[in-house]
A and B are shown apart, each in its own frame.
Chain A
Amino acid sequence: MADMKFTKEHEWIAVDGDVGTVGISEYAQEQLGDVVFVEVPDVGKSFNRGDEAAVVESVKAASEVYAPVDGEIVEVNSGLEDAPGTVNEDALGGGWFFKIRINDASQLDELMDKAAYDAYTAELD
């Protein structure tokens, strides 16, 4: 958890070497309510930071999941297709969406750490 970083759009990224695992935050899953559909990107696809990389749909709304950094998709959590509820049950763990090979690690510095993100979401309510 220590090196988990957050975006203003409520994605998290946990970095291991040059690969980051990306999902949506606890706050985001709570706001969405029961997730009923997840669409993950194709492996090998490249994104710029801020591009729509995945889609998450709940009983309330459909939202985009944006790439938190520039990079190439190296693995996706295809299990979410059959069990989208995992995003609700374990947003920061088993509910991860994709793994992205990070092009420019300095982009991570612009993201929030957990304390800053918690302060940010507290203000949203």
Chain B
Amino acid sequence: MAGTITGNKGLQQEEALIFEQNSPGRSGVDLPAPDAVASRLGDAARTAPIGLPGLSEPQVVRHYLRISQKNYAIDAGMYPLGSCTMKHNPRLNEKMARLPGFADIHPLQPESTVQGALALINECARWLTTLTGMPGVAMSPAAGAHGELTGLMTIRAALEDQGGPRKRVLVPESAHGTNPASAHMCGYTVEAIPADETGRVDLAALKDRIDDDVAAIMITNPNTCGLFEGDMKNMSDAIHAAGGYVYCDGANFNAIVGRVRPGDLGIDSMHLNLHKTFSTPHGGGGPGAGPVALSEALVPYAPLPYVVAGEDGFHLVEHADNADGKPYGRMKGFHGQFGVFVRALAYMMSMGADGLRQASGDAVLNANYLLAALEDDLSLPYPGPCMHEVLFDDHFLKDTGVTTLDFAKAMIDEGVHPMTMYFPLVVHGALLMEPTETESKAALDGFVRMIKGLASEAKAGNTELFSEAPRHTPRRRLDETTAARSPVLRWRPGPD
């Protein structure tokens, strides 16, 4: 491929670091010199330059616009990253979040001046308890893994109240990767439960491990193979019979919203990724939120703060002295990711109960469409139908010299964000695709054509297409090994 004189490729500009564009003394603002004032900084006055680059306003505007154009986002195209539910973020959510009554308030304002915001938290919680069929929800956790920790700490608090925290947490191999880490952080020993030949939890193996030392099971349902755990109620009953609790990772809730109430499956605690299921931005786009739904047995131990509706308006319970139950403390400063609550509630209210139910149905339909369209070209470790995501393994690449990683890099050249790779670990060279309900049939058909094309190129032995990918990006394949072994974390001025 012949290069250009500038290094630019059409609209794709070769962009130097902002520090490399430094012209000392250049500035975007021209302020008059202040009248003579006596400095009161004394010894604290800065003696060396601060080290910020000098640039004009147009230089800064162009710099950030150009690097933003190198980004890939759900607003730019399909983003089938399994277990991440990269769905469209409706603009109505953003409009609601910018209303001054929500955007311009401060968490330390007196309760009487933020009644609308408290009503919103309360209403968002009401939707979540209705959808989960669970009586309470802790709204403050900041994201999924934080929700997992909150849920486990709530379970631990309940067990301690009954005499002891117990020692072990069971985590199936088909659960999310963060689950063992959360259990470990909460002071538990993690025990893996194997999957059976259908990709689901081996119920017999699970029952063998349950005793009065098990604090909880952490299960992901639908699991990371994109399969529904049909034995969920039996698993819950077995754990409950031994005095333990059931934690469910709610990252895959988008598959079952409006169709299955987790509370009916015996789940005691489950986080809800508002930024996945309820369409608030994530990835580079903004903070998440991971409210944790709780069963009746766990509600008394819910962390602070929470909103209660009284006759004279809404109140925020922020201190154990004012709480009805036995809260173990607080998981986050202030009251949670309020701006995310606004967006999630806007989504739920604009969709309505019927719309949420249709969204989960469409998400599952789209994943099964990919399964049916691609099962002959890729390789399916577990037979379908699947839920909201479809899992392939790398047997279709056997003896081609192409790996799952190479295949994903070639997808980047085709202009699509790759799927989740090498996870879950229960299959070899996993490719986990989650199209979400956002994609139209036309978009899915385009994706299928691309995947089929790449698969046939790999099988035809065109390995350079993969080993050299990505070829059309601003930078070629990164040396991940050297980047991890000898990371260079800071740019420094001067010649190399």
Contact = CB atoms under 8 A, between A and B. Distances in A.
Contacts of B428: 125
B485 A61 contact: no
**A interface secondary structure, majority:** loop
A61 B480 contact: no
B425 A59 contact: no
B175 to A, nearest CB: 15
Interface residues of A, number: 9
Interface residues of B, number: 8
Interface string A61-94: 1000000000000000000000011000000000
A36 interface: yes
Contacts of B481: 34, 36, 59, 85
Contacts of A36: 481, 484-485
A60 B425 CA distance: 10
Given A34-B484, A85-B481, 6 more contacts: A34-B481, A36-B484, A59-B484, A60-B422, A61-B422, A84-B485
A52 to B, nearest CB: 9
A85 B482 CA distance: 10
Nearest to B191: A50
Contacts of A37: 484
A36 B481 CA distance: 6
**B interface secondary structure, majority:** helix
Contacts of A125: 428
Contacts of A59: 480-481, 484
8 contacts: A34-B480, A34-B484, A36-B481, A36-B484, A59-B481, A59-B484, A61-B425, A125-B428
Interface in B464-496: 480-481, 484-485
A84 B485 CA distance: 8
A124 B377 CA distance: 22
Contacts of A60: 405, 422
A125 B422 CA distance: 15
A37 B485 CA distance: 7
A85 B422 contact: no
Nearest to B395: A125
Interface in B162-220: none
B181 to A, nearest CB: 10
Interface in B403-432: 405, 422, 425, 428
A61 B405 CA distance: 13
A59 B487 CA distance: 13
